[in-house]
Amino acid sequence: MKTDRSLRERLAAGETVFGTLVNTPAGGLIEIMGHAGLDFVVLDTEHGPLSIETCEDLLRSVSSAGMSSIIRILANEPTLAQRALDIGAGGIQVPQVQSRSDAQLAVQGAKYSPLGLRGLSPFVRAGQYGAGIVGMTERANQETMVVVHIEGHLAVKAADEILGVEGLDVIFLGPFDLSLSLGVPGQVEHPRVMEMMRSVAEKTRSAGKTLGAFAKDVQGAKKLMDLGVRYLVYGVDVGVYLDAWRERVSALKGQNG
């Protein structure tokens, strides 16, 4: 159900929101996602091929489709956070946050003074190219989402310290990188991976923060929601597209002869 409330407000109200990772530089496909009912998209500049210029164009499609927008930046660097937010993203998703200082850096890169170190230029899309300077920094500090990845055994050990950082909206479990760090790459439902995820989930709930995670299929998504995940990223656009075509091609070829 679409709503006028922001993604951040919906999560604060206890709702579960659904999104997907986007690797494809096609605004029309993003509009289709909105028509299908997704709440948000995560434009992926960590593993995907998207440039900052392409992301800015895709954000216009996100807005027209009535969804919320997050950009997963390449690394935990304030300059990358600033560029993503200046082009109008509603928040950033920061990979490989391993410690309290990493988490603090993520917040500092996303927020203006006095909450952070983000540089100010109103002559960007986020500032309506100069027309939206009044109240710009206050709005951004209030509305910008900060999502940090816990996706390695070092981060799991530091979870309590990370959760104590002010300004984090979502603690995002990265099951694939967790599996890699445990020596079982790709086995996202391995007992050791699930044990780590349950541990972080319990701590996140106790800290009063929102839990997020990536699901590669509907069955996995159900398990994650049972674990307490309310910021759910389902699949990657290219994978969903591949699955849809595989199903249809198999059905077509089954009719042949």
List the beta strands (DSSP E) in the chain: 17-22, 40-44, 68-72, 91-94, 145-150, 170-173, 210-215, 229-236
Q: Domains in the chain, start-ordered, CATH in brackets?
A: 7-254 (3.20.20.60)
Stretches in the chain below the pLDDT threshold 50: 1
Beta-bridge mates of residue 21 = 42, 236
pLDDT of residue 177: 86
pLDDT of residue 257: 64
pLDDT of residue 3: 53
Contact by Cβ (8 Å): 179, 186: yes
pLDDT of residue 1: 40
- State the Cα angle at 175 between 5 and 171, rounded to 5°: 40
pLDDT of residue 161: 97
> 219 CB contacts (<8 Å, ≥6 apart)?
none
DSSP 131: T
pLDDT of residue 2: 53
Q: How many CB atoms lie within 10 A of CB 7?
A: 24
